[in-house]
Amino acid sequence: MTAYRLSSGGLVDRSKVLSFTFDGRPLRGFAGDTLASALLANDQLLVGRSFKYHRPRGIVSAGPSEPNALVTLGSGARSDPNTKATVAELYAGLTAKSQNRWPSLGFDVGAVNGLLSPFLGAGFYYKTFMWPKQLWEKLYEPVIRRAAGLGRAVLERDPESYEKSWAFCDLLIVGGGPAGLMAALIAGRAGLRVILADEDFRLGGSLLSETETVDGSPASAFAERVVAELQSLDNVTLLSRTTVFGWYDDNVFGAVERVQKHVADPSAKLPTERVWRIAAKRALLATGAEERPLVFGGNDRPGVMMAGAVSTYAERYGVSAGKSVAIFTSGSSGYRTARGLSAKGVTISAIVDSRADASDAAPDGVRVIRSGAVVDTKGRQRLSGIVVERSGFEELIGCDALGMSGGWSPVIHLACQRGARPVWSEELKAFSAPNVGNGLRIVGSANGVYTLSGCLRDGVEKATAIATELGFNAAAAPVPVTETETETEGEPSFAALWYVPGARSKAFVDFQNDVHARDLGLALREGFGHVEHAKRYTTSGMATDQGKLSNINAVGILAGMRGVSPAEVGTTTFRPFYTPVSFGALAGTSRDGHATPTRKSPLHEWARKNGATFVDSGLWFRSAWFPRAGEKTWRESVDREVLNVRANVGLCDVSTLGKIEVFGADAAEFLNRLYCNPMLKLPVGKARYGLMLREDGFVFDDGTVSRFAEDHFFVTTTTAMAGAVMSHMDYCAQVLWPDLKVRFCSVSDQWAQMAIAGPKARDVLQQLIDEDISEAVFPFLAARSMVLRGGINARLFRISFSGELAFELAVPAGYGEAVAEQIMEAGRAHDICAYGVEALNVLRLEKGLLTHAEFDGRVTPDDAGLGRMFSAQKHDFIGKHLSARYGLTAADRMQLVGLKPVDKDKDMRAGAHLLKEGMKPSTLNDQGWVSSAGYSPVLGQHIALAFLKSGRERYGEKIVVWDKLRDHEVVAEVCDPVFVDPENKKLKA
């Protein structure tokens, strides 16, 4: 028994006992505990195993910098691996498991790696595992991989929910310690919209473990008073349990609030975590300072902790890290810990001070060893003593905990995330924040102000300045008074001590990744002395703590070895995230069905009632086919629909096409420049097929253009490209030709549009329309507004994507379903059927009509057999000039052809490539590819569209349709891509 709960004291609520388990062992803590403080209170010193050597490890810190005490919280789908026990708020029912050990934490087979450590130094794997070659893949890599990682991700569906939110404020304060709280108070009283975010579940920061009094009360009570006042201010938002993880452009901060991570049984009404994007006019970084570990032999033994953490456990949680605590310090902070513990009756076995001439006051009766160094530690899985060296003499001092303090570094992570590098301060012996402008200022310990009164003052002053800057009146506020400390006396002084010489065993720099001082030496010897190289070669600072404790010592050691100042070594790059953030929080509600929006056609319900099977098509759900009773496969349904359209009539929902109204005196000119074929002289009341190119001459999209009036057009696009075409038109109208008098807007959602196709289409449709729509009056490509019987305004187009006599009818979206039903009713006597996009696809395939399966962004109009649409006479249109390039007109380009299998029973599938008969497959011999393929029920065989080199010259040639990927090979005859009714007799019937 070493660590234990003190009989009194701390901010835990001793009346609220919380039961939890660690590795299955039932334990108890109090409300207000972290998992770490509760584990310590239960004398659970050993909490984890390190990454490489599986060394036994204990709690080192009391905050987010923790490298060792990583556990898996929860179980099953609610497992949270690699959770820092030092920030995990204790709750009743919490279950924690240790990691990276087998079979148990106490006895871990992986620890054998420690014996091999001479062979496992930094970068060992780059030099080895290469002989023989085959063994890397089969043996070495699997072994290395199995050793990877710490915690285990279950990869099960997360039952909890997440959300994201924007917030806007005048002042964001990151950190609710003395400086942050005072700043919030001043700014809040002045009327600024303030957000104060702190990662802890309790606001107060260092005030919560402070022995000093403020304005006559204990520091924690002072904090409580300030928080109470802040809570009363409507313009102040307090976000506890909220980590600001990133600073982005325009002073936008990312933060994650752990709304329900501390709850055993989370409410379904609340998210587990919430990501905030906070747009702040001003921000204050009040993130405090981090105490530095000392790098000495055996410094990783459970029981060796940061001195400040020892204080925090004692003062805030009422837990002593040991019965007999030694201190190893290079500055005054270690004495402060000793005084605090001593006041609580904890035995201080010794203070080992690396300095020769320190004048700090040790508690009465405590032995101080000046110019001393801890060179080794004793004990197995917990500390039993330290070996202290002084003037060449060694001494074993018994203790069961050691608090180490190597001085302080401001926590400046956020300030350095946008490219500015930290600045070495000789005065602070630390890297301090660069000047990053008025948007983000640094305050308190993060600003190198290490006294409590100084932090309070800095908070007051910076907040006052910001309030004034933003035009608020900040009333002069007195700085709270601290009891004993004056601003200069309380200043912790320390000597920079990057490495303690004379280590008798491994002296760890990065605990989690097991990087010890010698690894850095090896890195330097091998030419990896640059701080980024050293990091990458040794993995120092690359663990889950991102080197919060270790980086500064690594820099110092490199500087020492290279004989330069730490300023010259510099730091590695600070990047988001300050502490790790879950995928779930960052994804928010965008998951599963909500990953992207879902669009449903206005005819969706009609299709559903008619039994449609739906298929995703971009954001849309489209009806794919309409199975009928007795049909066993989709092909049966599709074949029936196709044959029925060819023989009778069918109705297909084409509402998903992009639809754009174009108006204006220059509308015709605008469209004429937009499409490669002429549009100027399109008569009113007519529709025309149009082909749009990109400026590089390749087909961008196709669709129809209808003219309702001289200055009014209606444009359709493909479903897939609706958004892109609209944006392209915006660009052309606004940027290229801003002087054209043209206005347009998307009406894709305003119209329900349906194709009525088949020899009986007119007979069906005429029943809904009084006007004559006969061939003579409303011929192929007629387009105009109509009024349906019953008074519904509609637009009717004589266009066809099936080669049949066909109409497209557009009605206001809200009437779509009713009109579709009407048409079905009217068509009953004519054997009308609903048909889906699969049948639509077969119908167009039989006619050699094209979709984006053909227009893949690399196809010219001529490739597609549409060269006649390219109007060389037009003065200018998008894509004209570059279409003349050699590569776009070369004779060996791949051209659209049809394919029919020589053996009529064979099938072909899209994606196959084409080879000349008898030629070996090779990239050079590749003749082309199949863009679309399917079974034609009309022809009773499979047909395909393909792009074939110089294809139009090769009709009649036999070619191998080569689908090696699916082990499928067919000989096909090259033919014209129009398989059915090449004279278009049916179309114009």
Partner 1 sequence: MASLITCPHCGVRPKEEFAIRGDASLVRPAPSASDEAWHDYVYVRANPRGRTVEHWHHVAGCRRFLVVERDTVTHEVYSVVDGAAAAREAQR
Partner 2 sequence: MRYSAFSIVRNALSGNLNWKPQWRQPQPKSHYDVIIVGGGGHGLATAYYLAKEFGVKNVAVLEKGYLGSGNVGRNTTIVRSNYMLPGNEPFYEFSMKLWEGLEQDLNYNVMLSQRGVIMLYHSDGQRDAYVRRGNAMWMEGVSAELIEREQLKKMIPFLNYDHARYPILGGLLQRRAGTARHDAVAWGYARGADQHGVDIIEHCEVTGIRRENGVVTGVETSKGFIGCGKLALAAAGNSSRVGEMADLKLPLESHVLQAFVTEGLKPCIDHVIVYGGGHFYISQSDKGGLVFGAEIDGYSSYAQRGNLATAEHVMEEGVSMIPGLSRVRVLRAWGGVMDMSMDGSPIIDRTSIDNLYLNCGWCYGGFKATPASGYCFAHLIARNDTHPVARALRLDRFARGYAVDEAGAGPQPNLH
Q: Contacts with partner 1 in 880-909 (CB under 8 A)?
A: 880-882, 885
Which 3-state string (H, E, C) describes 497-565? Answer: CCCCCCCCCCCEEECCCCEEHHHHHHHHHCCCCCHHHHHHHHCCCCCCCCCCCCHHHHHHHHHHHHCCC
922 near partner 2, rule: CB under 8 A = yes
Kindly tell me which residue out of 469, 616, 710, 730 binds partner 1, with binding defined by CB under 8 A: 730
Shortest Cβ distance from residue 302 to partner 2 (Å)? Answer: 21
Kindly tell me which residue out of 289, 503, 543, 652 binds partner 2, with binding defined by CB under 8 A: 543
Kindly tell me which residue out of 20, 22, 30, 51 binds partner 2, with binding defined by CB under 8 A: 51
Angle of helix 452-469 versus helix 178-190 axis, rounded to 10: 30
Q: Lay out the site mask for partner 1 across 221-260 (x = CB under 8 A, - = otherwise).
A: ---------------------------xxx-x--------
Binding at 736: pick from partner 1, partner 2, none (beta carbon under 5-8 Å per type): partner 1
Shortest Cβ distance from residue 621 to partner 1 (Å)? Answer: 22
518 near partner 2, rule: CB under 8 A = yes
Stretch that binds partner 2, among 216-224, 233-241, 337-345, 412-420 (CB under 8 A): 412-420
Stretch that binds partner 2, among 80-88, 208-216, 356-364, 817-825 (CB under 8 A): 80-88
Kindly tell me which residue out of 139, 361, 736, 989 binds partner 1, with binding defined by CB under 8 A: 736
Nearer to partner 1 among residue 393 and residue 886 (C-beta): 886
Shortest Cβ distance from residue 583 to partner 2 (Å)? Answer: 4
Residue 909 CA to residue 681 CA, distance in Å, equals: 41
Kindly tell me which residue out of 734, 873, 922, 923 binds partner 1, with binding defined by CB under 8 A: 734
Kindly tell me which residue out of 858, 881, 904, 985 binds partner 2, with binding defined by CB under 8 A: 858
Closest CA to 479 of 458, 457, 452: 457
**Contacts (CB under 8 A) with partner 2, residues 275-294:** 275, 277
Q: Lay out the site mask for partner 2 across 146-165 (x = CB under 8 A, - = otherwise).
A: x-xxxxxxxxxxx-x-x-x-
- Burial-class residue 395 by CB neighbours within 10 Å (0-12, 13-18, 19+): middle
Nearer to partner 2 among residue 129 and residue 689 (C-beta): 129
Stretch that binds partner 1, among 107-115, 326-334, 576-584, 735-743 (CB under 8 A): 735-743
Binding at 727: pick from partner 2, partner 1, none (beta carbon under 5-8 Å per type): partner 1
Binding at 825: pick from partner 1, partner 2, none (beta carbon under 5-8 Å per type): none
Residue 309 CA to residue 726 CA, distance in Å, equals: 60
**Contacts (CB under 8 A) with partner 1, residues 545-574:** none
The strands making up 373-378's β-sheet, listed across from edge to edge, are 373-378, 385-390, 393-398
Nearer to partner 2 among residue 157 and residue 484 (C-beta): 157
Binding at 475: pick from partner 1, partner 2, none (beta carbon under 5-8 Å per type): none
**Contacts (CB under 8 A) with partner 2, residues 575-604:** 575-577, 580-584, 586-588, 590-596, 598
739 near partner 1, rule: CB under 8 A = yes
Query: Which tokens is 774 given?
Result: 């006969």
266 near partner 2, rule: CB under 8 A = no
Number of Cα atoms under 13 Å in the Cβ half of residue 526: 18
**Contacts (CB under 8 A) with partner 2, residues 698-727:** 698, 700
Kindly tell me which residue out of 44, 68, 79, 113 binds partner 2, with binding defined by CB under 8 A: 79
Stretch that binds partner 2, among 171-179, 468-476, 881-889, 973-981 (CB under 8 A): 881-889
Those residues whose C-beta lies under 8 Å from the C-beta of residue 463, and which sit 6 or more positions away, are 171, 182, 183, 184, 185, 186, 187, 190, 284, 474
Those residues whose C-beta lies under 8 Å from the C-beta of residue 534, and which sit 6 or more positions away, are 520, 523, 524, 528, 540, 554, 558
Binding at 880: pick from partner 2, partner 1, none (beta carbon under 5-8 Å per type): partner 1
Alpha-carbon Rg for the chain, nearest whole angstrom, is 38
Q: Lay out the site mask for partner 1 across 411-450 (x = CB under 8 A, - = otherwise).
A: --------x-------------------------------
Kindly tell me which residue out of 21, 590, 727, 793 binds partner 1, with binding defined by CB under 8 A: 727
Closest CA to 310 of 338, 350, 343, 274: 338
Count residues contacting partner 2 (CB under 8 A)? 124
DSSP symbol at 263: -
Closest CA to 835 of 612, 602, 636: 612
Shortest Cβ distance from residue 918 to partner 2 (Å)? Answer: 16
Stretch that binds partner 1, among 4-12, 659-667, 729-737, 807-815 (CB under 8 A): 729-737
Dihedral sign for Cα 774, 779, 781, 783, please.
negative
Binding at 537: pick from partner 1, partner 2, none (beta carbon under 5-8 Å per type): partner 2
Kindly tell me which residue out of 857, 940, 984, 988 binds partner 2, with binding defined by CB under 8 A: 857
Please state, in angstroms and as integers, the Cα–Cα distance from residue 969 to each residue in 271, 903, 915, 980, following that order: 54, 12, 10, 25
Could you tell me whether strands 743-746 and 658-663 are parallel, antiparallel, or unpaired per DSSP bridges? antiparallel
Kindly tell me which residue out of 265, 592, 772, 876 binds partner 1, with binding defined by CB under 8 A: 876
Within 10 angstroms of residue 616's Cβ, the number of other Cβ atoms is 11
Kindly tell me which residue out of 14, 78, 225, 277 binds partner 1, with binding defined by CB under 8 A: 277
Nearer to partner 1 among residue 254 and residue 556 (C-beta): 254
Kindly tell me which residue out of 111, 120, 279, 586 binds partner 1, with binding defined by CB under 8 A: 279
**Contacts (CB under 8 A) with partner 1, residues 153-212:** 166
**Contacts (CB under 8 A) with partner 2, residues 182-241:** none
Question: Strand, coil or helix: what is 658?
Answer: strand
Helix (H) or strand (E) holding 29: strand 25-31
Query: Beta-strand (E) ranges in 213-345?
Result: 213-214, 217-218, 236-239, 242-248, 252-258, 273-285, 289-291, 304-306, 319-320, 324-329
The tokens 């005819």 sit on which residue? 603
873 near partner 1, rule: CB under 8 A = no
Closest CA to 678 of 690, 666, 686, 661: 690
Binding at 731: pick from partner 1, partner 2, none (beta carbon under 5-8 Å per type): partner 1
Please state, in angstroms and as integers, the Cα–Cα distance from residue 156 to each residue in 80, 409, 822, following that order: 11, 40, 49
Closest CA to 343 of 362, 329, 358, 369: 362
Shortest Cβ distance from residue 826 to partner 1 (Å)? Answer: 39
Nearer to partner 2 among residue 121 and residue 685 (C-beta): 121
Backbone angles phi, psi at 684, to 5 degrees: -60, 135
Long-range contacts of 117-126 (CB under 8 A, 24+ apart): 117/53, 117/506, 120/52, 120/53, 121/518, 121/519, 121/522, 122/515, 122/519, 122/520, 122/522, 122/523, 122/537, 122/538, 122/539, 123/522, 123/523, 123/526, 123/528, 123/537, 123/538
Nearer to partner 1 among residue 584 and residue 723 (C-beta): 723
Count residues contacting partner 1 (CB under 8 A)? 26
Nearer to partner 1 among residue 98 and residue 677 (C-beta): 677
Q: To the nearest 10°, the Cα dihedral for 391, 396, 400, 401?
A: 10
546 near partner 2, rule: CB under 8 A = yes
**Contacts (CB under 8 A) with partner 2, residues 898-917:** 909-913
Residue 441 CA to residue 465 CA, distance in Å, equals: 11
Kindly tell me which residue out of 78, 504, 906, 952 binds partner 2, with binding defined by CB under 8 A: 78
Residue 47 CA to residue 315 CA, distance in Å, equals: 22
Closest CA to 72 of 146, 19, 22, 18: 22
Helix (H) or strand (E) holding 566: helix 566-569
Binding site for partner 1 (CB under 8 A): 166, 248-250, 252, 277, 279, 419, 695-696, 723, 727, 730-731, 733-736, 738-739, 875-876, 880-882, 885
